[in-house]
Amino acid sequence: MKSDEADVPSDGRGQRAARAPTRRRIVRLAVALVVLAAVGYGGWRGFLEYLYMQIKPAALAAAPAVRELPSPRASGCAGCHRDIYDEWRSSLHGQAMSDPFFVAEYDEQKRIFACLRCHAPLRAQQPTIVSGLARIAPARPRERPNPDYDRELHDEGVTCLVCHQRGDALVGPLPYDGAPSLHAVTVDPDFGANALCARCHAAEAFPFSDVRRPVLPTLHEHDDYRRGGGTSRCVECHFSRVDRPIAQGGPTRQGRRHTLLGARDRAFLRDHLTAGARCDVSAAGSTCVVSLTNRAGHRYPTGEPGRELVVEIAPDDGSARDARSILRRMDRIDLVEKPGEDNTLLPHETREVKVSARVPASLRVRFCLYEASDPLLKAVGVAYEDVCQTLHAFRVDATGAVTPTPEPAAAPSDAGAEPATRFKRP
């Protein structure tokens, strides 16, 4: 068990790329250019080509049409797979190009091409075909119009074919036992292995940034979880099991929901973080110790660097500010990764977090999608409180006795039914 009073070293994974090159990065780029030119790599054009090849994930190549499939769009799948389509449509995969926080950041980043490699990765989803870099600061592509661009497919984000197309067929873990399939099918019992998620959930930092580890480190963190004895795959938590026909008119069998449980679902977050508390009251002051145990198969929190786990206590008399302790990977606005800054919970880890305040008081553990200073909140038009969800709450009386309190009534940001649709542009 660890205490938050000790330094928690970084494990070398997890930060996201900087928003723009800092002076240090520009100097590093200039030095690299001189070296490359000196060894005959091809001067500036060769350097840009080298840099472009370092951007991960790489662009997907053009894929053949799926045999007998009338349309590559998810909307074309809805006729036979209505339940799956409806779940996907409400998920963050289905809203990868329309989620207001992504849209705000995509606009702020001048719609940089690299974002589409995960948010709309199919070749036909790309408005242009990018063949290299035209400039570095800011990064701009060398591109030409894509003659196969499909705007509706683009707007579908992480659409069905992103995961389910393999060659000229659609792949799944089970054979289809109903009426003759309307499209070519490949059966792979290992479909749904973690490798399916690795392309984007182990995405690398932008080359020559001050970030030295993947920008979305969840798959690397999951490797740590498995080395520690964990056995679950990503889909076993994030795509829950369900018994139903996979296609209308087919037999009932075990499949998976496509709602993609995650950071916008309070019940899911709560289930993967246990919390308890004890408090000591004395004339010198009151100290509460909150014990947090990560039950997820990766760090907690994970994903976007600005996500926070906040432990806070507020005295009832209102005479003092909240005392709080924050667990997060890094400040999203800071352009430089600071050694040891990542203090998130490791898989399986239990840690004690201390906060002090006068009692009686209210104590709570909250998960926040973005830190209070993030300009995306203003861009989207929501307050910090609107992106925070209370996972655990306690009541501390005058003697220091701690009692768990019922979950608060669901605020708009706490509703769990449609996790991807809570935040709307004003």
Q: In what order do the strands lie in the sheet with 185-187?
A: 165-166, 169-172, 185-187
Confidence category of residue 419, pLDDT binned at 50, 70, 90: very low
With a CB cutoff of 8 Å and minimum separation 6, the contacts of 31 are none
> In terms of pLDDT, which residue wins out, 283 or 37?
283
Confidence category of residue 69, pLDDT binned at 50, 70, 90: very high
Q: What is the model's pTM? A: 0.84
Q: What gap in Å lies between CA 156 and CA 113, rounded to an integer?
A: 17
Confidence category of residue 414, pLDDT binned at 50, 70, 90: very low
Asked if the bond preceding 301 is cis, omega within 30° of 0, the reply is yes
Residue 50 has pLDDT above 50, yes or no: yes
Q: Give per-residue pLDDT as tens, 82-107.
A: 999 999 999 999 999 999 999 998 99
Contact criterion met (CB below 8 Å) for 148 and 124: yes
Over residues 21-40, the mean pLDDT reads 57
What pLDDT shows up at residue 361? 92
What are the strands, taking DSSP E only, across 62-190? Answer: 128-135, 140-145, 165-166, 169-172, 185-187
Let me know if 323 is exposed, middle or buried by CB neighbors in 10 A (0-12, 13-18, 19+). Answer: buried
Residue 415 has pLDDT above 50, yes or no: no
Helix (H, G, I), strand (E, B) or coil at 246: coil
Q: Range with the lowest mean pLDDT among 124-128, 199-203, 232-236, 267-271?
A: 199-203
With a CB cutoff of 8 Å and minimum separation 6, the contacts of 278 are 288, 289, 402
Q: What gap in Å lies between CA 88 and CA 91, rounded to an integer?
A: 5
Element holding 277 (H helix, E strand): strand 273-282
Residue 56 has pLDDT above 50, yes or no: yes
Question: Would you give the DSSP letter of residue 387?
Answer: G
Residue 39 has pLDDT above 60, yes or no: no
What pLDDT shows up at residue 108? 86
Here the tokens at position 246 are 């996979």
Confidence category of residue 33, pLDDT binned at 50, 70, 90: low
Neighbours of 53 (CB within 10 A): 12
What pLDDT shows up at residue 336? 57
Residue 290 has pLDDT above 90, yes or no: yes
What pLDDT shows up at residue 333? 62
Residue 310 has pLDDT above 50, yes or no: yes
Q: Give per-residue pLDDT as tens, 153-182.
A: 999 999 999 999 999 999 999 887 766 788
Q: At what angle do helices 43-53 and 23-38 cross, to 10 degrees?
A: 120
CB-facing half-sphere around the CA of 234: CA atoms within 13 A: 20
Q: Give per-residue pLDDT as tens, 178-209.
A: 667 889 999 999 999 999 999 999 887 777 66
Q: Give per-residue pLDDT as tens, 394-411.
A: 999 999 999 999 865 444
Q: In what order do the strands lie in the sheet with 350-356?
A: 2-3, 350-356, 285-294, 273-282
Over residues 235-253, the mean pLDDT reads 93
Q: What percent of the chain has pLDDT over 90?
A: 58
> In terms of pLDDT, which residue wins out, 59 or 28?
59
Q: Beta strands 273-282 and 252-256: pairing type?
A: unpaired
- Residue that the structure tokens 């050694």 belong to: 339
Confidence category of residue 289, pLDDT binned at 50, 70, 90: very high
